[in-house]
Amino acid sequence: MHDSTPLLTWDIFCKIVDNHGDLGVCWRLSAQLAAQGQRVRLWVDDAGALPWMAPGALEGHWPGVQVMPWRQPMSALDLEGLPLADVWIEAFGCEVPAEFLARFMPAVESTGQAPVWINLEYLSAESYVERMHRLPSPVLQGPAAGQTKWFFYPGFTPRTGGLLREPDLEARQAAFDRTAWLAAHQIAWHGERLVSLFCYEPKALGGWLNQLAQGPEPTRMLVTPGRAAAAVQAALSGQQAQREPPQWGSLSFSYLPYLPHGAYDELLWACDLNFVRGEDSVVRALWAGKPFVWHIYPQDDDAHHAKLDAFLNWLDAPGSLRHFHHTWNAISPEPLPVPDLPVWHACVQAARERLRLQDGLASQLMQFVAEKR
């Protein structure tokens, strides 16, 4: 942290929807702000994933980050003795609770110094992101009527808020030893192709596993726990892979436990091809620089189709990678193509180089707050 960087207190509000991504992004942001000397209170309504995602977080072992229970409704006891923060962040469409505003707005009105209030939006490569980034949003009703929120959009281009990136990420990856990491995680590896699987329930999964099993190249699938593992077991129902050791033709399986954030990065570095899902892991896949396929979060109105295509356009995805994404995300009924890993790798490497030229999300948020204060 530079001497000129003010030490501020940040309230970050995170409401869990149905997966780990919201908490993953909010935790990474909290940890990165704290690493730059900021004080963060992370308000979360379900912190059940933090013990494996960030061991020690609930016990207060991460300097600068305090995990706060977001009970609904908030009680006076939850807020007793807390000073007014310098920044309020509403992550992913959640709202600062009315009880919280009622507690702190008198102090805002008496001092005339309001926190910088940020609406941190979802990640997208669509064109509206650049138009909406940093725009004001007046608060028209409730205890905070008359205040202003600011839209802040993460993104992939210089006219957006950037992506979360730790300052030591490249150094960590450069020092990574794949063989030692696999051995430490008791993954039997004999030089075969390694593929990580973190997904929802793609309809194309069974066909993909069959393609690997019948293919000429030995492949080991490293399956993450939860929905991905359940999807694999459902796809393999009745197959030979249900036996021990798990093996089906050219395809073998290793089922992983939940991994802390740092170890998940290392999983991506260890693999030759990564399947990721949602927002947090696709960013980590980009920084890993390995070929990857993104299972975008599905929406009932199919709005994710345009969102995926905008991302593939930004990525400058070659035809085979675009085709694979469309089938994997149930946009196209065509069979999955055979991955062209050298071409996919070159594509991701070029995208990562573009991203390296931009400031990260945490740094941009700090710069924005400094401007508004």
pLDDT in tens, 325-354: 999 999 999 999 999 999 999 999 999 999
pLDDT higher than 70, residue 121: yes
Angle of CA points 213, 219, 224, to nearest 5°: 100
Q: What is the pLDDT of residue 182?
A: 98
Alpha carbon distance 263, 312 (integer Å): 27
Which of the two residues, 51 and 2, has the higher pLDDT score?
A: 51
pLDDT higher than 50, residue 1: no
Of 11-15, 16-20, 26-30, 196-200, least confident by mean pLDDT is: 16-20
Strands 148-152 and 193-197 come out as unpaired
Alpha carbon distance 324, 294 (integer Å): 10
Q: What is the pLDDT of residue 154?
A: 98
pLDDT higher than 50, residue 302: yes
How many alpha carbons fall within 13 Å on the CB side of residue 154? 23
Q: What number is the average pLDDT over the span 239-263?
A: 82
Task: Write b or e for each residue in 247-273: b if 16 or more Cβ atoms lie within 10 A of its Cβ, otherwise e.
Answer: ebbbbbbbebeebebeebbbbbbbbbb
Alpha carbon distance 199, 281 (integer Å): 10
| Reported pTM | 0.95
The SS3 assignment for 218 reads coil
pLDDT higher than 60, residue 244: no
Residue 51, C-beta contacts closer than 8 angstroms, at least 6 positions apart: 57, 58
pLDDT category of residue 17 using cuts at 50, 70 and 90: confident
Question: Which DSSP letter does residue 23 get?
Answer: H
pLDDT > 70: what percent of the chain?
97
pLDDT category of residue 301 using cuts at 50, 70 and 90: confident
Catalytic positions are 22, 279
User: How are the residues of the chain apportioned to helix, strand and coil, as percentages rounded to the nearest 5?
Assistant: 40, 15, 45
pLDDT category of residue 239 using cuts at 50, 70 and 90: low
Q: What number is the average pLDDT over the span 93-115?
A: 94
Average pLDDT of the chain is 94
pLDDT category of residue 9 using cuts at 50, 70 and 90: very high
Give the burial class of 212: count Cβ atoms within 10 A of its Cβ; 0-12 exposed, 13-18 middle, 19 or more buried.
buried
Of 97-106, 186-195, 298-307, least confident by mean pLDDT is: 298-307
pLDDT category of residue 243 using cuts at 50, 70 and 90: very low
pLDDT category of residue 241 using cuts at 50, 70 and 90: very low
pLDDT category of residue 238 using cuts at 50, 70 and 90: low
pLDDT category of residue 287 using cuts at 50, 70 and 90: very high
Q: Which domains does the chain have, with CATH numbers?
A: 9-163+358-372 (3.40.50), 169-356 (3.40.50)
How many alpha carbons fall within 13 Å on the CB side of residue 138? 4
For 151, list phi and psi in degrees, rounded to 5: -75, 135
The SS3 assignment for 309 reads helix
